[in-house]
Structure 1
Amino acid sequence: MLWTVDPTSPTPLFEQLAAQVRRAIADQKLTAGERLPSAKELAASLEINLHTVLRAYQALRDEGLIELRRGRGAVVIADDPGLVNLHLMADELLAEAGRLGLPHESVVELLEGRRS
């Protein structure tokens, strides 16, 4: 799996990395049970700080997409590509809102208005 980050992008590096893992899961290039590279290996290969990779992995864990196991590393546990796609769309929506200068609260209001 080849991942890259763009240090000149306004998107934080950890978010770039997490988005690429989400996309790989959504596209079923990564499936449940597969191991991700160790944080140390990935940080070295991307020439970024170890804590940046760990932050991306923690975000993915908090979303229920991966499991972090001491001694085993990061393992994909997501088995619903549709849910992962929803995460990706939400990321894209929030990124676009940020580019337009809209706070997250405005996005939530916009979405809630659509349900009425």
Structure 2
Amino acid sequence: MKFVLDLSQPLYEQVLAQVRSSIAKGEIALGEKIPSVREMAQGLKINPNTVMRAYQELERDQLTETRRGQGTFITTDSEKVRTIRYRLAEEAVDEFLAKLGSLGFTASEVAAILRSKGGEAR
């Protein structure tokens, strides 16, 4: 896993968001073991408590599970991953609509822009 951290935003939220995104994109396979808290913290050069907080949130979302003595693994439940993928998509759409709304675009203008782009996904 490769991360890009922005020191102007909370680090645990960035770790959490980037792991969620990697899971949703399939960059991390279902059932795959992820680095330990200590390994992740050393790799990112951040406090282990920051990584622990992100890992706890992932476990609350049921995207990971900790196996005693073995480590932390991505869920094998594809439905959980599908749910988080759609949640991330909805958040992206909400941000997009809010930004265009702040620029003064109406819903019909936004729809026209999307139609002109042909609904192409990048």
- Give the TM-score normalised by structure 2: 0.67
Whole-Å Cα distance in 1 between the matches of residues 61 and 40 of structure 2? Answer: 20
Aligned residues: 95
Q: What is the Cα deviation at residue 84 of structure 1?
A: 1.6
Q: What is the Cα deviation at residue 15 of structure 1?
A: 1.1
Q: Which runs of 5 or more structure 1 residues have no equivalent in the other structure?
A: 97-116
Report the equivalent of 1:8.
8
More deviation in 56-65 or 73-82? 73-82
Matched residue SS, 1:67: strand
Q: What is the Cα deviation at residue 92 of structure 1?
A: 5.1
Report the equivalent of 1:39.
37
Whole-Å Cα distance in 2 between the matches of residues 79 and 5 of structure 1? Answer: 28
Q: Aligned ranges for residues 1-116 of structure 1 at < 5 Å?
A: 1-9=1-9, 12-77=10-75, 78-80=77-79, 81-89=81-89
Classify 1:60/1:76 alpha carbon distance in 2 versus 1 (closer, same or farther; 3 Å).
same
Q: Which runs of 5 or more structure 2 residues have no equivalent in the other structure?
A: 96-122
Q: What is the Cα deviation at residue 33 of structure 1?
A: 1.0
Whole-Å Cα distance in 1 between the matches of residues 31 and 5 of structure 2? Answer: 25
- Give the TM-score normalised by structure 1: 0.70
Letter of the structure 2 residue corresponding to residue 65 of structure 1: L
Whole-Å Cα distance in 1 between the matches of residues 51 and 91 of structure 2? Answer: 18
Alpha-carbon contact 1:5-1:16 (below 8 Å) kept: yes
Query: How many percent of aligned residue pairs carry the same amino acid?
Result: 39
Alpha-carbon contact 1:43-1:53 (below 8 Å) kept: yes
Deviation digits for residues 34-89 of structure 1 (CA, Å, limit 9, x no counterpart): 01111101101111100100100000000010002232221000423321213324
Deviation digits for residues 8-33 of structure 1 (CA, Å, limit 9, x no counterpart): 22xx2111111111111111111221
CA RMSD of aligned residues (A): 2.3
- Computing the radius of gyration from Cα coordinates, the structure with the larger value is 2
